[in-house]
Amino acid sequence: MKSISYKDAGVDIHAGEEAVNRIKTMVRRTFTPQVMTDLGKFGGFYQLDLSAWDKPVLVSSVDGVGTKLKVAFMMDKHDTIGEDLVNHCINDILVGGATPLYFLDYIGTGRLSPDVVEQIIAGMVRGCENAGCALIGGEMAEMPGFYTDGEYDVAGAITGIVEKEGCIDGSAIQAGDALIALPSTGLHTNGYSLARKVLFEHAEFSVHDRPEILGGRSIGEALLAVHRCYLPVVKPLMKTIEIRGMSHVTGGGLVGNTKRILPEGLDLAIDWNAWTVPPIFQLIKEKGNVSILEMRKSFNLGIGYVFIVSPSESMNLMNQLIEMDEDPIMIGHVK
């Protein structure tokens, strides 16, 4: 009787080892002096330096990139998904005032491809390097029969730090406060199930089609636009602006996410005509005959991040953002 190996069952241990060896050098580029262990250990050791902190608070979050992965598979392009993941997680803790310390990832797949893993991790490294965040570990799980061959899933967990007095939880928000927004770079990492349904099933586009409305970009390129990281803009502003609340516009749209931080009894008055909705969203709405209410619930519609400040602080914030070469948008107020 033939001896059956793990590889016969679909798990290639050698491929996993090769993938780890490929990514070690680039992952080390993200290491800060606080990282105490190399890749491959059972856990990532991180020594906190609390000398500059009075009452430090750790802030953690975990997330994925949803079915944006399906577009990456269709394009056979995997070098941006990791950056999407890191940036999404950073933005989620940033709204609380936290600066990222370290990041961990999970990659699950039916058949592990060292080439694809290398591309995914390259994107994570780029995101971590840009944010000064250490990628201290992760997990690669090869699970044949569970994931479709040629596909994978990714998730990430992040930990950041903020001074207790600097925590931004929305409790100071009042009626009349201004809503000032920063643009998104596209869908970011939400709404892809609806976008794919409309564009690829209903309208029967391919990822390589270039509708005139997209200005020369293919549909795949527009959908894979990297989820923007707002840390470089927001971090310096937290030292100069009294920010009462911040919102990262993800699943649930502008209203759904921003209402999460409002004190009870308050609501939002949004001026939906304050900005021009980017072409990719216009294409989805038109080709799917999607209602405006459904669009607002499912997509960010070009708004990726929201500040809530007092009326007296609003022009100061607008001016500082303009000085940073940003395009801030006054989108409404709290009521």
The pLDDT value recorded for residue 112 is 87
What ranges do the domains of the chain cover?
13-166, 178-334
Secondary structure (DSSP) of 171-235: TT--TT-EEEEEE-SSSTTS-HHHHHIIIIIIS---TT---GGGTT--HHHHHTPPPPP-HHHHH
C-alpha angle 126-128-131 in degrees, rounded to nearest 5:
110
Q: What is the CATH number of domain 13-166?
A: 3.30.1330.10
Q: What topology does CATH give the domain 178-334?
A: Phosphoribosyl-aminoimidazole Synthetase; Chain A, domain 2 (3.90.650)
pLDDT tens, residue by residue, 241-273:
999 999 999 989 999 999 999 999 999 999 999
Residues of the chain with pLDDT under 70: 1, 4-13
pTM above 0.85, yes or no: yes
The pLDDT value recorded for residue 2 is 72
Under a CB-based contact definition with an 8 Å cutoff, are residues 181 and 228 in contact?
Answer: no
